[in-house]
Every structure is written in structure tokens, then in C-alpha cells.
Amino acid sequence: MIETTIRHADETDADRLTALMQASSAYRGAYFAMIDGYRVRPDYIARYLVRMAVDTADDRVLGFYGMIREPAELDLMFVADEAQGLGVGRQLIADMLDRAREDGIASVKVVSHPPAERFYLKVGAVRTGTRPPQPKTPWEQPELRFTVEER
């Protein structure tokens, strides 16, 4: 069992987050176009809410998310291949919803990687529509929304 800590990413984490994203097997084949050449840059981390799950024992990055606050959207979310199925994604979503609640955000939009839709539905998102094909994504993408519950 991996013990995880979720913390704010800082600008020095940019290369580690990019490496995790680029290594994701979920983006092989046709889906590679979505991340081809994309980098998590220090200015992205400074501008948006970027939080990461790390292995408490060795500070290895297990996953991360990036949330745009206005309008609220889960912009990036990745879990390392070796951490899939261990609850890291659920922890990251719970953390994102907690941060949104603290910021007074009522709902968070997600434009999903098609194979990830099932995960988002399992953790409480509701499908709201479909985004039409785009230049880097020549297929429809599920649009979902998380409602941020009051505590």
C-alpha cells in the first residue's frame, strides 16, 4: 500500500509533472495528439491551482491535477500508470472539490479524455454534453460537471 500526501505543486515540480503526463499509457495511439508537445510550465503552476499526490516515503509523483478557477474547470488530471487503481485519482478529485468549496466555487467543468469518462462518473461527475471535434482532438469529448457540495 502506498501512503500518499497531496500538496501544492511549485514551479520546480513542472518537469516532474510533465514527465508523468507524457509517460501516460492512456494517451498512446490516436489520443497522443492531446498531449503531443504539451508541457506543464512553471507559469501554469503559478497561475492555476496545481496539486500533486506524492508517495510519502520517497516523494515520487503519483498524480496531479490543474484547476482553472474562473470559470471553474478541471484542466489537467493524470495518475501515474503504476498508481492506477490505488485510489490516487479519487484522492485528487476529493482534494479538488475541497479546494473548490473553500474558494466558493459551486461547480467544476471537465472536458474528458474519452476513456476517462467512466472514472469521472464513478467519482460523482454528471455528463452534461459533448464537445465537438477540435484540431488536436478530432473526436467528440465528453463534457461533465462536478457539483461542489456544502459541508
- The answer to whether residue 93 scores a pLDDT higher than 80 is yes
pLDDT band for position 30 (cuts 50, 70, 90): confident
Q: Are 24 and 35 in contact (CB under 8 A)?
A: yes
- Residue 55: DSSP 8-state: E
pTM of the model: 0.94
- All structural domains of the chain, each given as residue ranges with its CATH number in brackets, are 4-147 (3.40.630.30)
∠ Cα 70 5 20 (to 5°)? 70
Mean of all residue pLDDT scores within the chain? 94
What backbone torsions phi and psi does residue 43 show, to the nearest 5 degrees? -70, -30
At 113 the pLDDT is 87
